[in-house]
Structure 1
Amino acid sequence: MAKKTLSNKNNLNVLYEDNHLIVVNKRAGDIVQGDKTGDKPLSEVVKEYIAEKYNKPGNVYLGVVHRLDRPTTGIVVFARTSKALPRLNKLFAEKDAKKTYWAVVKNEPPKPKDTLIHWLKKNPKNNKSYPHTKEVKDSKKAILHYEVIKKLNSYYLLEINLETGRHHQIRTQLASIGCPIKGDLKYGFDRSNKDASIHLHARYLTFEHPVKKEPLNIEAPLPLDAVWEACLF
């Protein structure tokens, strides 16, 4: 039976867990895997949580299935067994996991609902992706579907479904239509959020359990701030 819990020690919001996988609600600022900053990654926090909760001696197995950008919040899935990891990797690689994001933007999109298709090229020097309307060398095709689902006082709430998973895809593609995400200085928003977050949240994830073969529908609560609270219906 899946369990929902909150680890106060690690401030870890667990959305789903069983013997094969664990799903958490990532906070802004957390990195999913270790990088050159040397900051403690979310994967290590989850390992500590598992070791403590289940009294596991020695190294805890944990497989990273996918990632979210550091300033982004929401659903992140980890594999708890070597059996589950390749199956989850296959699900995500073959687009059998449906990812739905919420994004808050200041400018009204050109259309209330649309499909965006670009070829994105990453520049590793500044860790930024650039959109092109046709294929260029070393670019990757990016497709997303967005819809305006709520008009706020000063912003618009968009719901986004991804067909592809490219580097900074949502951030790049929304910026390309004049709708940078709130707080996203890298892609053209005019000011940062106080906590260095951006208003992009991995809200829903639907996929088949890699071992039990049952449908899983995960929902991540929104971060606690006034703009996100205004997005609730």
Structure 2
Amino acid sequence: MTPDELTRHGHAESKIPVLYEDNHVLAVVKPVNVPTQEDASGDPDLLSLLKEDLKIRHNKPGNVFLGLVHRLDRPVGGAMIFAKTSKAASRLSESVRGHHFRKMYTAVLNGVPAAPQGRLTHYLLKDSRTNTVQAVRPGTAGAKEAVLEYRVLGQVDGLSLVQIQLHTGRSHQIRVQMQAIGCPLYGDQKYGGSLSRPGQQLALWSLLAGAPHPVSKEDMSFHSLPPAQFPWSEWPVSLYESMIMPGN
């Protein structure tokens, strides 16, 4: 979905799938290539589109509150959770800080990791001027620890499908950590080097977003499967569904 397809006649047209909504929480499927929040591009962003949609659907006057508690890179699609009240935003943010907010991804890599599964720890340093991140030596000033676990679930023609559990939420974390082990993501125009081709879509998808409900404290878990197009279509839907089964 392009930014142009998300707007018609100067206002938002709701094409964003809603996974769940109550008085406190909104869970949606973020479209690919749409910024999570307003950026320098000026393109329609998810947060603004959702606020406009809430205003129209619920006939709300004035500004609508919607709290952003986690982010996805612009080229990434999939499950996201937003807060509809300031109290919910505060409590969901506490869940993020306390590592009670679950984020599971799937990605298609160029190449196959040396180990079929593992835990990766790197130290990442962001250059805000270029909006790029690199893995650096531990102890480097400004670097932040990044931790994830991955599992290889399939291989086809030099590509591998992996399941990724994030334990930290660093900028571009999955993309940079996979590049660091020699397996950049398919279609990564920023970190894929010569392995990515112009026009390829980054193959990274938010399969699951979950946390304790900010009011009831009951476990929330929202899922979204990647689109049925290359390279995702190289593997059966049942494999993606198996990743979000309890215990995985």
Q: Report if TM-score (shorter chain) is over 0.5.
A: yes
Deviates more, 1:169-178 or 1:91-100: 91-100
Check conservation: 2:189, 2:198, Cα contact below 8 A: no
Name the counterpart of 1:142: 146
Residue-pair matches, total: 225
Matched letter for residue 24 of structure 1: V
The equivalent position to 2:92 in structure 1, one of 71, 88, 95, is 88
Deviation of 1:76 after TM superposition, in Å, equals 1.7
The equivalent position to 1:163 in structure 2, one of 149, 163, 167, is 167
Name the counterpart of 2:40: 36
Deviation of 1:58 after TM superposition, in Å, equals 1.6
Name the counterpart of 1:99: 103
The equivalent position to 1:75 in structure 2, one of 79, 90, 93, is 79
Structure 1: 5+ residue runs without aligned partners?
Answer: 1-7
| Distance (whole Å) between structure 2 residues aligned to residue 52 and residue 90 of structure 1 | 30
Structure 2: 5+ residue runs without aligned partners?
Answer: 1-11, 240-248
Is 1:228 equivalent to 2:232 in the alignment? yes
| Distance (whole Å) between structure 2 residues aligned to residue 87 and residue 122 of structure 1 | 27
SS in 2 for 1:126: coil
Cα separation, partners in 2 of 1:172 and 1:184, compared to 1, 3 Å: same
Name the counterpart of 2:136: 132
SS in 2 for 1:186: coil
| Distance (whole Å) between structure 2 residues aligned to residue 66 and residue 184 of structure 1 | 21
Among the aligned pairs, what percent are the same residue? 37
Name the counterpart of 2:205: 201
SS in 2 for 1:110: coil
Name the counterpart of 1:17: 21
SS in 1 for 2:17: strand
Cα deviation digits, residues 64-105 of structure 1 (max 9, x gap) = 111110011112211111121100111112110111110101
Check conservation: 1:174, 1:181, Cα contact below 8 A: yes
Cα deviation digits, residues 138-164 of structure 1 (max 9, x gap) = 100111111101223441100011111
Deviation of 1:133 after TM superposition, in Å, equals 4.3
SS in 1 for 2:231: helix
- TM-score, normalisation: structure 2: 0.86
The equivalent position to 1:176 in structure 2, one of 167, 170, 180, is 180
Check conservation: 1:135, 1:141, Cα contact below 8 A: no
Moved over 4 A (4+): none
| Distance (whole Å) between structure 2 residues aligned to residue 193 and residue 68 of structure 1 | 21
